[in-house]
Chain A
Amino acid sequence: MSATALPAFRAPNPILAFIRAQPLGAAGLVVILVMGTAAVFAEVIAPFNPEAIDFMSMLAAPSADHFFGTDAFGRDILTRIIYGARTALTIGFLSSFIGCTAGGLLGVASAYFGGRADLLIMRLVDIVLSFPIIVLALVVVAVLGKTAVLGIDLNLVFAIAIPIIPRACRVVRSAALSVRQMPYIDAARAGGYSSTHIILRHMAPNVLAPYLILLTAYVAQAILLEASLSFLGLGVQEPKPAWGLMLAGDSANFYQEAPWMILFPGLAISLAVFAFNLFGDSLRDWLDPKFRT
């Protein structure tokens, strides 16, 4: 009857379990964490000032001083990539979060109310879905112009978030439809809870798995989209460091003499998107093998 006779119960460590089940996803997660750390501690890690112009070392090839070389203004490319990670991850997370949350709530509400409201919302979703993502983002950019709050380009965040809303709405709605059939929803209704309460407290927590999967998947999309918009000159503006922006302008003129100018920012974009896709895919398989987007 002593406590020592019983083997101590140990809850399985979810992180270890994930690594064992999804090694590729764990690798993606490691890349994400490394990039995240670089983004947060950019000031400490980056060897130079990202906006410091140095005419003494313009278009310098990769060397011990400048690991990834310098651009047409003599700015250190490695530094700009590290700071660019901050831009990409901030905008990527924010816009995916806003898009998936708004879309997810709309989807849950649509599934909860059903009937005419559901029909109307789904028609609207269909309409918005007939804009290719980048086209809708460009229209939103045209409408919102350029607004930056606290150093974050909010117009850009919304331009990327809005095309995500209908896509997230659709997926979350289909998951919420089965939740809607659960007896506990009927119980909550019988208990006299308001619709808002039921949607937020009873239904939303039960579609958390698809929500999280969408969230990671759309961070990848958002990073890609931010890079595209910045590349077109309609996203992040100079002299702020952003990966897409580093591929635009001068890089286009100099890339024969200075291929490192286009090589490294492009690799950074690809690696980030690759990591988030890998992690998102594994998260999907791990959280719910039946769930496919």
Chain B
Amino acid sequence: MLRYLARRVALMVPTLFGVALLTFIMLRVVPGDVVEVKLRADGGYVTTEILERERARLGLDKPLPVQFVDWMTGLVTLDLGNSMWTGRPVAEEIGVRIGLTFQVALMAAFISVLIAIPLGTISALYRDTWVDYVVRIFTIAGLAVPSFWLGMLLLLLLLTVFHWSPPVTYTPFYENPLQNMAQLIWPALAVGYRYAAVVARMVRSSIIEVMREDYIRTARAKGVFERLVVARHAMRNALLPAVTVIGLEFAFLLGGLVVTEQVFNLNGIGRLFVEAVSRNDFVLIQALVMLLAAVFVTMNLIVDVLYGVLDPRVRNA
């Protein structure tokens, strides 16, 4: 198991390196850099000399391979460079925002999984009854409703029905958990809906599949209570594919937050990313892309390891 883990971790390195190289190349192939956006923003005339000086200050005049190596060495030593726009260290910009985004993402994931597994199971066990239809409509709608719109509807609902709107300033959880939750539960629900829908659909189809297996018939034949058949025999096997979806969709949850944070006026990673893109702040974009890719690759790893824990066949393969 330990060797397997070590090999998997080692395999992450080339993927992340590929992501880094690809991002770097993509961001450099096209002219129009942060310097021009920044200095020509007000439409005034700026001499090429000033542009050049600013480029030199940001290290944009160096040959591309040198820039790449600089960035890579920085990454390895966890020095992410300075934002091209604000001039503050990228690590700091990310650091102050990451807590919020991860809290919302984790809350959304937690709530969704808690809802999705029973929902998917009920839907599968009462297949083709009205319960199943209600759940299926609920989940198909979950794939169609944009999370940012759902967020707006939530805010509108709170405002018109309860004449209340969530606090606008962020309070860390450890300072005032209630205040913190009052602000962050809504975006978590908005992005969590899609996540819950995806997971519930997966759980439903994998339980339907598992219930057809021979060992379920065997368990029933030897007189195991139906509840135990489902809980012990079916669930364990059915949850494997669900675990994959839960893990892989987590990265997409972060993607959904990129948009939803705007609705709730949350100053998180998503907001930072959108700002970085609209300002062509390459250093910041690179760092954020690496962060999100690292989350994705790590989730993949966790899924694989969980597979090993849940399924002895994988563990011993």
Contacts and interface: CB of A to CB of B under 8 A. Distances in A.
A22 to B, nearest CB: 14
Given A247-B149, A271-B144, 19 more contacts: A126-B15, A127-B22, A130-B251, A131-B19, A134-B259, A135-B273, A138-B258, A138-B273, A138-B277, A142-B277, A220-B143, A232-B258, A256-B159, A259-B156, A269-B149, A270-B144, A270-B146, A273-B144, A274-B141
Contact of B156 (A220, A262, A271, A274): A262
B128 to A, nearest CB: 13
Contact of B153 (A224, A262, A269, A271): A262
Interface in A228-249: 228, 231-234, 244, 247
Interface string B147-159: 0110011011001
> B interface, by DSSP: helix, strand, loop or mixed?
helix
B255 A135 contact: yes
A98 B241 CA distance: 30
* 10 A-B pairs closest in CB distance: A132-B255, A266-B149, A127-B18, A274-B144, A273-B144, A134-B255, A142-B277, A130-B293, A130-B296, A270-B144
B146 A228 contact: yes
Interface string B218-247: 000000000000000000000000000000
A228 B144 contact: no
Contacts of B148: 228, 231, 247
A133 interface: yes
B285 interface: yes
A255 B296 contact: no
B293 A131 contact: yes
A145 B179 CA distance: 40
Interface in A260-293: 262, 265-266, 269-271, 273-274, 277-278
A135 B194 CA distance: 17
Contacts of A273: 143-146
Contacts of A277: 140, 143-144
A139 interface: yes
A224 B23 contact: no
A127 B24 CA distance: 13
Contacts of A133: 252, 255
Contact of B140 (A124, A132, A274): A274
A227 interface: yes
B64 interface: no
B293 to A, nearest CB: 5
A189 interface: no
Contacts of A234: 274, 277-278
A143 B255 contact: no
Contact of A270 (B16, B27, B141, B277): B141
B26 interface: yes
Contacts of A247: 148-149, 152
Nearest to A271: B144
A128 interface: yes
Interface in B25-51: 26-27, 29-30, 32
A143 B19 contact: no
Given A134-B258, A234-B274, A145 B15 contact: no
How many interface residues does chain A have, given as a range? 35 or more
Contact of B145 (A135, A139, A270, A278): A270
Contacts of B146: 224, 227-228, 231, 244, 266, 269-270, 273
Given A130-B297, A139-B289, A144 B30 contact: yes
Interface of A: 123-124, 126-128, 130-135, 138-145, 220, 224, 227-228, 231-234, 244, 247, 251-252, 255-256, 259, 262, 265-266, 269-271, 273-274, 277-278
B292 interface: yes
19 contacts: A123-B18, A127-B18, A130-B300, A131-B289, A131-B293, A135-B258, A135-B289, A138-B273, A139-B27, A142-B280, A143-B30, A144-B30, A224-B146, A228-B259, A232-B262, A252-B263, A256-B160, A270-B141, A270-B144
A147 to B, nearest CB: 11
Contacts of A266: 145-146, 149, 152-153
A262 B278 contact: no
Contacts of A143: 26-27, 29-30
Nearest to B21: A127
Contacts of B15: 126-127, 130
Given A132-B292, A133-B255, A139-B289, A262 B143 contact: no
A292 to B, nearest CB: 8
Nearest to A124: B18
B258 A130 contact: no
Contacts of A255: 152, 155-156
A135 B270 CA distance: 9
A132 B296 contact: yes
Nearest to B155: A255
Interface-central residue, B148, B155, B276, B296, by most chain A CB under 10 Å:
B148
Interface-central residue, A143, A233, A244, A265, by most chain B CB under 10 Å:
A143
Contacts of A139: 23, 26-27, 277, 285, 289
B106 to A, nearest CB: 16
B196 interface: no
Nearest to A129: B296
